Amino acid sequence: MKANRNALLTSGFCGAGDEKIFQLENTFGAHHYDRIDLVVRHAKGCWLTDKKGDRYLDGLAAYSAANPGHHHPVITRAVVDALTQNYGSVVSNVVFTDPLGVFLSKMADFTPQMAPRFGEHGNKVLPKNGGVESVETAIKTMRYFGYKHKGIIDGQQEIIVFDGNFHGRTISVISFSASQKYKQGFGPLTPGYVSVAFGDLQAVERAVNKNTCGILVEPMQGEGGMKLPPPGFLKGLRDIADRHDLFLACDEIQVGMGRTGKKFCFEHDMIVPDGVILGKALSGGLLPLSVFITNAKIMDMVFSKGSDGSTFGGYPLACVAGTASLAVFKDENLAGQSRKKGEILKEKIEKIAARSPHVKEVRGKGLFIGIEVKQGNAMEFCRKLLKLGVVVNDSHGRTIRISPPLVINEAEIDFLVRQLEKVLVE
């Protein structure tokens, strides 16, 4: 028993009581997250379990990272096999590996031809770890595209972004964040961005000038309040990008991989961007893995040997998880599940909203649903839901974010709805 306990300790899993875990993190960790009082000991499918064995429905799915459900058996098996058969660890990027080649080819095929106006050259993929790293890759691509393809003086390139955006937290990315909290005191910030109202095509048109090289957009804003743009907005952006020869990049880190009921969120507007960024669910929520994908011709124009790189970007274990997760996405029709279950769940939530004194609006597509509350106190409702066995959080203060794993079943939807009813109506 004792030997077993020591093994757990060295593995980083000590099994201590919740108070000890709070204390360890408060003492030794940066306080950069506002956490709720739950220590998760176990995660499987749509459920999170604490030390007492109490179960919580995961209504958040790590902001879309756990789309296929926690510890999906196929993805977990692929990772375990890679580790036990010794093909998972990071090896130097000076050598080739099986898992990377396989993953890149699957990924390139998974995506429609990016930037088709540059020809049917196929897609190329640049892998990284966390999502924001691939946002940076997209920014580099747009800037280089402006410099090399459009002849903009290097250093003068401008990218159009949107108010309420969230693309991550590197210095360059917070430089164009709408949130003061993300950037205050972290200057100097990176220039080269112009932010306009999300959904306002005329504002985009007005922002275009001779130095504009690209447009970076979330097809739906997750952190910005679960916001959907007006129908046709992406089509309008595609049109502006075509007329002014701009690079249109879609950040699908949160809303891609089936979350909104389609494989890619840009499909709702039937457009194809010039580049797409994916992360979060790409590895089935098991490992950090993100990609930037564009037309092979553009990727080859922008990146040459030494112009980019990452020690862990595209390392075997993450690639194995990525390939398995693409298979699960297809085999289990995760986009279809999201569409169908999202319709059912949204309809039930709308019925609650009609009887609730608190709800201002319900919006969303697929299993990407926001419940905006009148007083802007969404987190209060989230804390009440936690006591009722549901983990969700707020988006932008005003909106309860509902984004469970896409494999949520009927009984689990009913449980979620019953608990929402208790906090919003009773």
Ligand X SMILES: Cc1ncc(COP(=O)(O)O)c(C=O)c1O
Residues with catalytic annotation?
166, 251, 280
Q: Which residue type does 11 have? A: S
From the CB of 103, what's the least distance to ligand X, in Å? 18
Sites for ligand X among residues 28-57 (CB under 6 A): none
Q: Which member of 47, 63, 103, 381 binds ligand X (CB under 6 A)? A: 63
* Site stretch for ligand X (CB under 6 A), options 110-118, 141-149, 216-224, 336-344: 216-224
* Residue 193 to residue 423: CA distance in whole angstroms: 41
Nearer to ligand X, 162 or 415 (CB): 162
Question: E strand or H helix at 161, and its extent?
Answer: strand 158-162
Q: Looking at 111-119, 218-226, 359-367, 410-418, which segment touches ligand X (CB under 6 A)?
A: 218-226
Name which position in 69, 127, 219, 279 contacts ligand X (CB under 6 A): 279
Which listed residue (69, 146, 199, 222) binds ligand X by CB under 6 A? 222
Q: Minimum CB separation from ligand X for residue 226, in Å? A: 11
Best CA proximity match to 222, nearest among 180, 184, 258, 251: 251
Question: How many residues lie near ligand X (CB under 6 A)?
Answer: 15
The two beta strands, 42-44 and 47-49, are: antiparallel
Cα 125–Cα 128–Cα 133 angle in degrees, nearest 5? 110
Exactly one of 131, 256, 284, 405 binds ligand X (CB under 6 A); that residue is 131
For residue 196, give the amino acid letter. Answer: V
Interface positions, 137-176, toward ligand X (CB under 6 A): 166-168
Of the candidates 136, 158, 218, 372, which one interacts with ligand X according to CB under 6 A?
Answer: 218
Residue in the block written with tokens 């201002």: 360
Provide CB contacts within 8 A for 295, sequence distance 6+: 113, 114, 115, 116, 118, 119, 121, 122, 123, 124, 274
Closer residue to ligand X (CB): 135 or 362: 135
Instruction: Give the list of residues 6+ apart from residue 72 with CB closer than 8 angstroms, or none.
Output: 284, 325, 328
Name the residue number minimizing CB distance to ligand X: 131
Cβ-based neighbour number of residue 51 at 10 Å: 14
Query: Residue written as tokens 């506002």?
Result: 34
Q: How far is the CB of 145 from ligand X (least distance, A)?
A: 20
Q: Least CB distance from residue 277 to ligand X, whole Å? A: 7
H/E segment holding residue 143: helix 131-144
Q: Which is nearer to ligand X, 128 or 358 (CB)?
A: 128
Q: What six digits make up the tokens of 94?
A: 């000076």
Region from 1-9, 215-223, 228-236, 237-245 binding ligand X, contact rule CB under 6 A: 215-223
What SS3 state is found at 233?
Answer: helix
Q: Is residue 70 near ligand X by the rule CB under 6 A?
A: no
Burial class (CB in 10 A: 0-12, 13-18, 19+), 76: middle
Which of 46, 61, 79, 135 binds ligand X (CB under 6 A)? It is: 135
Nearer to ligand X, 69 or 131 (CB): 131
**Looking at beta carbons only, is 204 or 217 nearer to ligand X?**
217
Binding residue for ligand X (CB under 6 A) from 58, 158, 251, 372?
251
Q: 304 φ, ψ to 5°?
A: -125, 175
Q: Label residue 383 exposed, middle or buried (CB < 10 Å: 0-12, 13-18, 19+).
A: middle
Binding-site string for ligand X from residue 89 to residue 128, where x marks contact by CB under 6 A and - marks none: ----------------------------------------
**Amino acid identity for residue 158 in this structure:** E
- Please identify, using beta-carbon distances, which residue of 165 and 295 lies nearer to ligand X: 165
Residues forming the site for ligand X (CB under 6 A): 63, 130-132, 135, 166-168, 218, 222-223, 251, 253-254, 279
